[in-house]
Amino acid sequence: MAVALSFVPLRDRTQHLVDRLFYGGRQDPYRTLRDLGQRLHTVPGGDVLGSFGHAVASALRLPYVAVERADGTPVASCGKPVEPLERRPLLYEGQIEGYLVASARRGEEGFDDRDRGLLSDIAGQLGLALHTRALTAELLLSQQRLVAAREEERRRLRRELHDGLGPVLTAIGLTLDAARARLKTDPPAADNHIAEAREAAAQALTDLRKVVHGLRPPSLDDLGLAGALRSQADRLTAGSPLQVTVEAGELPDLPAAVEVAAYRTAVEAITNAVRHSDGRHCRVRLDASARELVLRVGDDGTSAGPWLPGVGVTAMRERAAELGGRCQAGPTPDGGAVTARFPLPETP
């Protein structure tokens, strides 16, 4: 009896070894999930999904494991696909971010309920990782666009100042020199030169105002955010059947960057409504809390064709993202809507 009992631990260890060799982690699913979860936190961010796929294949002894985006594009894979394939959705906040795809073990016709349950649990951990990867890629692309846009803006300013204002100011100086030279000998000619210089200075001032307006619309300082939007909406809708109303709650003193971003986002949304919507009414609403400024623009029109995000929508999203906010735009049952949120700094 004692001899028989002494073989029990040896049998258990042998059985555990056999299970690990032939069945992988499905014999101990909780340990498998724990190990895979730890791997998600220890692998460098750029290689998380690839390393995770290899870990799943190794732990469960699967010939093929892949992570795909929602459109079927592979993100990472390990091995070669063998039928039958099992697909498990990768969810984040109820939205399908992609799929976990796996081939059954060689010699097995498919996955049993325990395998499917374990794959579903693994997929639950991967949904957040895939969503984070997509956000990181989108953020990197947005940053690259912002850098390119900033450099292009600097180039534009340099060109306008050098090629526009520069020659005008030089001409004013030369004209005034000519006026001074003729002031005593030919006063009428000197007066003509002074008049020419005055006219050139007025044109230079107009050009300078255009440059300044490109940086920050002066109406923001003169009328405030809501007033500036009303003024610009009147210009945009001149000759259009679209009526724009601008409503604003009690707004605090807004940071200059937030104010300009909200202004340009609203103007872009109104412009899109004028150009692409057959609506009659457009409502702009501004609300602020201690934490954020919320801009909502909605119209009651319908687009002439299928709604596709263009350059303007991309610019609105990037403008909000640059300040740590977000912008959503798209069709609604009642028309079109844009909602942008801009974080506000904490007040002491």
311 occurs within a structural domain: yes
- Does 101 or 107 have the greater pLDDT score? 101
Query: Number of structural domains, the chain?
Result: 3
Grade residue 225 by pLDDT with cuts at 50, 70 and 90: very high
More confident residue, 103 or 263: 263
Same domain, 328 and 228: yes
The CATH number of the domain holding residue 208 is 1.20.5
State the pLDDT confidence band at 11, using cuts at 50, 70 and 90.
Answer: very low
> Could you say which of 109, 139, 169 is where a domain stops?
139
What average pLDDT score do residues 257-278 get?
A: 90
Mean pLDDT throughout 316-320?
89
More confident of the two residues 22 and 152: 152
Per residue in 47-58, pLDDT (tens digit) is 667 677 777 777
Cβ–Cβ < 8 Å for 24, 63 = no
pLDDT of residue 9: 44
Q: Is the pLDDT of residue 316 over 70?
A: yes
Q: Which residues span the domain enclosing 23?
A: 19-139
Mean pLDDT of 322-330: 89
Do 190 and 171 share a structural domain? yes
Phi, psi dihedral angles at 186 (to 5 degrees): -145, 75
CATH of the domain at 109: 3.30.450.40
Same structural domain, 339 and 231: yes
Cα torsion 286, 143, 139, 331: sign: positive
149-154: list long-range contacts, CB under 8 Å, 24+ apart: 149/318
pLDDT of residue 307: 60
Let me know if residue 10 belongs to a domain: no
User: Quick one: pLDDT band at residue 105, thresholds 50, 70, 90?
Assistant: confident
Q: Quick one: 131 and 39 in the same domain?
A: yes
**Residues 107 and 169 both lie in one domain:** no
The verdict on residue 9 lying in a domain is no
Confidence of residue 41 (pLDDT cuts 50, 70, 90): low
- As a whole number of angstroms, the distance between CA 178 and CA 49 comes to 74
Mean pLDDT of the chain: 79
Q: What are phi and psi of 72, to 5 degrees?
A: 95, -5
Asked if residue 188 is part of any domain, the answer here is: yes
Are 130 and 49 members of one domain?
A: yes
